[in-house]
Amino acid sequence: MSRVLEAELPKRWGLVQRWKNTLIYVFVRLAAWTVRVLPFSVARNAGRLLGRLAPYVAVRDRHRAEDNLAKAFPELTTGDHRRISKEMFLHLGTCAAEMVHIERFINGAEKVELTNENRAVLDAALAAGKGSVIVSGHMGNWELLAQLIAAAGYSITGVAKPLYDPRLTRWVHRHRSAFGHNIVWRGDDGVARELFRALKKNGFLGLLIDQDTKVQGAFVPFFNRPAHTPSAPASLALKTGASIVGARIWREGRDHRMFFELIEPPSGDDLEQRIEALTATLSLWLENAIREYPEQWVWLHDRWRRQPDSTDLRALDLNTKTRA
């Protein structure tokens, strides 16, 4: 059994914090239940309404999003940054309502499924029998992407960071795994073993690389700035011989579209250099997808929080446009 999923409430919580977090947990569960009993069209409109209100409530988050947009798109105006930020909140509100009604997407009520072209890429990725690493980011309805792959009959394992409240972690786990998406939680024993096992069974391993987290990584260009990027996808693929696939999902009106692409790994004798080069390629692939629909990426994370020292910085080619 997962140590993360069996965790008790942190002992460091005082009485006030315990009650506060309990109220938050109850509110989240109650809000999700309320949205779930609503007709889907009403629920989605409710999510959009919350998304419209969010920028005026979460002011600090809105400012962070606008600051990040200014870093990524210096050629745009302040008004453009503000508009994209508001559209992002609207998108996230819609995504939240959709995930509460996830079964509608799985059973076909919303007519969202993998196309023949999607399946052809995924089948080709598994053809060698060594599994495949799917790389994506927090764009479109990224939670839906993994669920749809699992619902199509593919084995897919993802890695997630536990939430601050173990009760929320358990609730999210039940929700994510209900339709066949296998979740491995950071902090559990044997995480690396589970990842290798997923590939050994010729399954997919889904990893997100668009946040600066406390994992091994490399500084590679992202929107013409150095960004510390997880290198595990590249490392796993190159060390095991697994194929690597870039994946994206985006919204077009009420519909969702998916795109998968096999990424060719770099050649060479130096494994570390190949890992860094492949990480840079994957980061650029994701950046190009974000540029197409910037309002559908989560700009709330401090993506450029850590920066390399001057020696590493001189070695980086930040002109991503010439490599696109």
pLDDT of residue 284 exceeding 70: yes
Q: What is the DSSP letter of 305?
A: -
> pLDDT for 217-229, tens place per residue?
999 999 999 999 9
Among candidate residues 194, 234, 212, 230, the one with its CA nearest the CA of residue 304 = 212
- For the ranges 138-142, 164-168, 185-189, 318-322, the lowest mean pLDDT is seen at 318-322
Query: Quick one: pLDDT at residue 314?
Result: 52
Parallel, antiparallel or unpaired: strands 225-230 and 217-222? antiparallel
pLDDT of residue 293 exceeding 50: yes
Mean pLDDT of 123-142: 97
Confidence band of 38 (pLDDT split at 50, 70, 90):
very high
CB-based contacts of 149: which residues, under 8 Å, 6+ apart?
Answer: 114, 122, 134, 156, 181, 204, 206
Confidence band of 322 (pLDDT split at 50, 70, 90):
very low
Query: Quick one: pLDDT at residue 33?
Result: 94
In Å, how far are 31, 46, 53 from 39, measured between CA atoms? 14, 10, 21
* Residue 253 included in any domain: yes
Query: Quick one: pLDDT at residue 69?
Result: 98
Query: Quick one: pLDDT at residue 313?
Result: 58
* Residue 273 included in any domain: yes
* Residue 126 included in any domain: yes
Cβ-in-10-Å burial (0-12, 13-18, 19+) of 296 comes to: buried
Query: What residue has token string 């990424």?
Result: 263
pLDDT of residue 4 exceeding 60: yes
What is the C-alpha to C-alpha distance for residues 4 and 162, in angstroms, rounded to an integer? 7
**pLDDT mean across residues, the chain:** 93
Contact between 286 and 135 under an 8 Å Cβ cutoff? The reply is yes
% of the chain at pLDDT higher than 70: 95
| H helix or E strand, kind and range, residue 88 | helix 78-100
* Residue 246 included in any domain: yes
> How many domains would you assign to the chain?
1
What is the C-alpha to C-alpha distance for residues 296 and 250, in angstroms, rounded to an integer? 7
Confidence band of 323 (pLDDT split at 50, 70, 90):
very low
Q: Which domain holds residue 216?
A: 111-155+202-324
What is the C-alpha to C-alpha distance for residues 66 and 80, in angstroms, rounded to an integer? 9
> pLDDT for 158-207, tens place per residue?
999 999 999 999 999 998 898 889 999 998 888 999 999 999 999 999 99
Among candidate residues 236, 234, 230, the one with its CA nearest the CA of residue 192 = 236
Confidence band of 43 (pLDDT split at 50, 70, 90):
very high
* Residue 290 included in any domain: yes
For residue 249, which amino acid is it? I
Mean pLDDT of 45-65: 96
Complete edge-to-edge strand list for the sheet that includes strand 182-185: 182-185, 156-160, 204-208, 132-136, 243-252, 255-262
Query: Quick one: pLDDT at residue 311?
Result: 58
* Residue 287 included in any domain: yes
* Residue 87 included in any domain: no
Query: Quick one: pLDDT at residue 312?
Result: 60
Query: Quick one: pLDDT at residue 288?
Result: 98
* Residue 59 included in any domain: no
